Amino acid sequence: MLIHNIQSTIGNTPLIDLPIPITNGNHIFAKLEMFNPGGSIKDRLGEYMLQDADNRGLLTDQSTIIEPTAGNTGIGVALAAQARHLPVILVVPAKFSQEKQTLMQALGAKIINTPSDDGIRGAIAKAVELAQSIPDSFIPMQFNNPANPETYYRTLAPELIRDLDGRKVAAFVAGAGSGGTFAGIARFLKEQDPTTTTVVVEPEGSILNGGPAHAHRTEGIGVEFIPPFFKEVQADRTLTITDDDAFTQVRNLAADAGIFAGSSSGAALAASLKVAATLPAGSNIVTVFPDSSERYLSESIYDL
Ligand code: PMP
C-alpha cells in the first residue's frame, strides 16, 4: 500500500473475533483501535473535529488549536494539526501517562500541565482561560462538541456493520471518557437493530453508577460529570469494573491472544465477559479496544 501522508491511514482498523474461551460459546468482537497511526481511537476524533471546524470556517492559517485532554485526544488533535501546519497547545492533567505526553510533544504540540487533583475540569478551565489571551485560537472541546459522537457514528460504527457481515449484535460494550465513542456507536447500532443491548463501562471512582469521583489506575475512561452526549442515547446498562479486573484482562489479552491493549481495553473486555455470561449461546458481543499497552509501560501495566 503506497501512501502519501500518515493521516490517510486513520480508520478502517481490524475487527477481531477474539480467540479466547467465552461462556456459552459466545463471541466477543473487538475493534483494534491501536492500529491507527497515532496509536488510538482518538486519531479519528482529532481529524474529524479539525475537518468539521474547517468546513464551518472556524479555522484560518493563523489559528492556534487548544484542547484539554487526557492524552489520546491530544495525540489525535496534534496529528491532524500537523498536516495543516497549525500550532497546538494541549492542556493535560499531570497524572496522565508520560508516554502520551512525550508523543504529543514529538508531534510539535506544547503541553501545559494542570494539577492532577483538579481533574479534567481543571484542564477545561485552563484551556478556556488560555484561549482568551491567544488571538485566533480554537478549542475543539471534545467534551461538548457534537462532532465527537458524530466521528464514531460516521466512521467506526459503519465499519463494524460492514465487517460483521450480517451477524446480529446482541450487545455493544464500550467505556466512556468524553462519552463520544459510546454515544456515536450506540446510536448507530440501535438504528440498525433496536434489540441490541448497549452497555457503558466505567472504572471504580467514576460517577455513572453513583458514588463520589476518586482516582483510579484505568486510564482514558471514567467521568467526573455526565457526558452531555448521553442525553441523546441512553445506555441500557452501566457496568463498573475494578482496576484489578481491568489489568487482569490486559495481561490475559497479551498472554492468550497476543494483543497489547491498554487498561480501558482491559475494562471493556472484563465487562464484555460479564455480559457474555448473561446471553444465550451463539450471541455476539461487540466492543472497542481504544489503545495499546505500550503507552503505559512506565506505569507498570504488566507488573500488578
Ligand atoms: N480509552 C482510552 C485509552 C481513551 O484515551 C479514551 C478517551 N479519553 C477512551 C477510552 C474513551 O473514549 P471517549 O472519550 O470517546 O468516551
By most ligand atoms within 8 Å of CB, the mutation choice from 31, 101, 221, 301 for ligand 1 is 221
175 CB less than 6 Å from ligand 1? Answer: yes
Nearest-CA residue for atom 7 of ligand 1: 220
Q: What is the pLDDT of residues 239-256, one digit of tens each?
A: 999 999 999 999 999 999
pTM of the predicted protein model: 0.97
Q: Is 227 helix (H, G, I), strand (E, B) or coil?
A: coil
The answer to ipTM > 0.95 is yes
Nearest-CA residue for atom 6 of ligand 1: 220
How much distance in Å is there from the Cα of 216 to the middle of ligand 1? Answer: 14
How much distance in Å is there from the Cα of 175 to the middle of ligand 1? Answer: 7
Active-site residue list? 42, 264
- The CA distance from 288 to 170, in Å, is 15
39 CB less than 6 Å from ligand 1? Answer: no
Query: Is a pLDDT exceeding 90 seen at residue 143?
Result: yes
pLDDT at residue 140 in the model: 98
Stretch 133-158: mean pLDDT: 97
34 CB less than 6 Å from ligand 1? Answer: no
Q: What is the pLDDT of residues 57-104, one digit of tens each?
A: 999 999 999 999 988 999 999 999 999 999 999 999 998 889 999 999
**Domain annotation for the chain: domains and CATH numbers:** 7-35+146-299 (3.40.50.1100), 42-138 (3.40.50.1100)
266 CB less than 6 Å from ligand 1? Answer: no
Q: What is the pLDDT of residues 196-215, one digit of tens each?
A: 999 999 999 999 998 888 88
177 CB less than 6 Å from ligand 1? Answer: yes
Backbone angles phi, psi at 89, to 5 degrees: -120, 125
Residue 47, C-beta contacts closer than 8 angstroms, at least 6 positions apart: 7, 10, 76, 79, 80
- The CA distance from 123 to 118, in Å, is 8
Sign of CA dihedral 105, 100, 185, 223: negative
Q: What is the pLDDT of residues 250-299, one digit of tens each?
A: 999 999 999 999 999 999 999 999 999 999 999 999 999 999 999 999 98
Confidence grade of residue 304 (pLDDT, cut at 50, 70, 90): low
